[in-house]
A = this chain, B = another copy of it.
Amino acid sequence: MAQKPSIPSGTRDFSPIETAKRSYIFDTIKSVFKTFGFQQIETPAMENLSTLLGKYGDEGDKLLFKILNSGDAFSKLTTDDLGNSNAAATKVCEKGLRYDLTVPFARYVVMHQSEISFPFRRFQIQPVWRADRPQKGRYREFYQCDVDVVGSTSLLNEVELIQIVDEVYRRLNISVTLKINNRKVLSGLAELMNAADKLTDITVAIDKIDKIGLEKVKEELRERGIADSAIAVLEPILTLSGSNADKLSKMREVLKDSEVGLLGVQELSTIFEYLQNLNLGCKVELDLSLARGLSYYTGAIFEVKANDVEIGSITGGGRYDNLTGIFGLPNVSGVGISFGADRIYDVMSQLNLFPESTLVGTQVMFVNLGKQEELASIKLALQLRQKGVAVEVFPENKKLPKQFDYANKRDTPYVAIIGESELQQGTVALKNMKTGEQNSLQVDELTSLLLKKLTVNL
């Protein structure tokens, strides 16, 4: 009995059209990264579990996909282990699938530090895997597109990442707002609240303000042991309005007694100064309620929202000061952002932003009308292909309506016909499948006409 095939829950097949749309996003992002002088690296899908465990918190550890050791994996396992899945897993699995691109990158920098010229500007576009409960918009395998500079504390790096965001979304034609804040400002606020030791609790709570609103955030802060008096200090800051300059001057006043807080304000000011000279297309907004959950951020933090679609952030990142420390290379500061390809895809689908050229596979299909006709077609196809046109020759001499139906279903824009009379006259009939218009052309005319309209965009 044949089995009915399926794929694991939370994973996806990508059809030709989906793959083409996704490639359009990846290629656009990649080409912007390249114009900023970033270089691509790739790391293995599998990392040693010792590299991954303990880097994403207890919750993250549980979401790692572990790979069974090959060979006689179970020989080390005892009956006692069976009661404890964690202990058992450690004995039968040494490897896991990467959970993000950040930890593998830190591992890469440490392993290859002698080959790298710092500042190291790298990008990486690869899938990651998480054993999360699958749900709408949340997958167990998905791509991340990360771009980072490590080994430079200059704020110009932050500015260039903002320029990259601006340029990527300009090319993708998505209207966005970039929100920026600084962890040092949040640290300063925590000092002001007499809760410097609770910075993580505060950022975790603030981080939810978009989803749950101010009142619930205050509730959560109370539950996490923040005094009402401290919350009263924080509240007006979270709801601060006005221009970026207004907000900055207000914060400079509020944080006047916090060294770290003022440093954060100064970093933000410097970034805004740069941006004034760079004519960005997107709006950059200082958002003092922006916190970003990840505890490793230490300076600027970013998040990008699509203006015309209700969806979570489509890009995010920030500065971190000690990512490589855990692998034995301390004091390497870095800053990076990550583009969320799946959400960008959803935004572009909803707004119908994929250019038509992305959706075309084969550009011209030659119908197949018999031996001699076929031969003339494949010779001509060869010439067109060498000039970069995507050409198909229908492989069988089937009834013409069937062949046209095939071209139609695949949205092929042109069908070329070489029949008996065309063969005699050395011509080709070209049918525009959208308009239905059909013209008889000399072979040379066909080539130059098609070249004007079509070339493979790789």
- The residues of A with any CB-CB pair to B shorter than 8 Å are 2-8, 11-16, 19-20, 22-23, 27, 30-31, 34-48, 50-51, 62-63, 65-68, 70-75, 77-79, 81-82, 84-85, 88-89, 92-95, 97, 107-108, 110-112, 115, 117, 119, 121-122, 127, 129, 131, 140-141, 149, 152-154, 156-157, 159-160, 163, 167, 274, 277-279, 325-329, 361-362, 365, 374-375, 378-379, 382, 385-386, 388-393, 395-396, 406, 409-410, 456, 458
Contact = CB atoms under 8 A, between A and B. Distances in A.
B131 A70 contact: yes
A387 to B, nearest CB: 9
Contacts of A95: 8
A174 B71 CA distance: 39
Given A20-B39, A44-B141, A65 B65 contact: no
B81 A85 contact: no
Contact of A44 (B7, B63, B115): B7
A274 B43 CA distance: 43
A456 B8 contact: no
Contacts of A379: 277-278
Given A16-B122, A65-B70, A156-B396, 20 more contacts: A2-B329, A3-B51, A5-B110, A5-B327, A5-B328, A6-B48, A11-B44, A19-B40, A19-B42, A22-B42, A23-B40, A36-B390, A37-B362, A37-B365, A39-B362, A45-B129, A117-B410, A159-B378, A160-B395, A277-B378
Complex A-B, nearest 4 residue pairs according to Cβ-Cβ distance, in ascending order: A37-B392, A16-B39, A2-B328, A11-B44
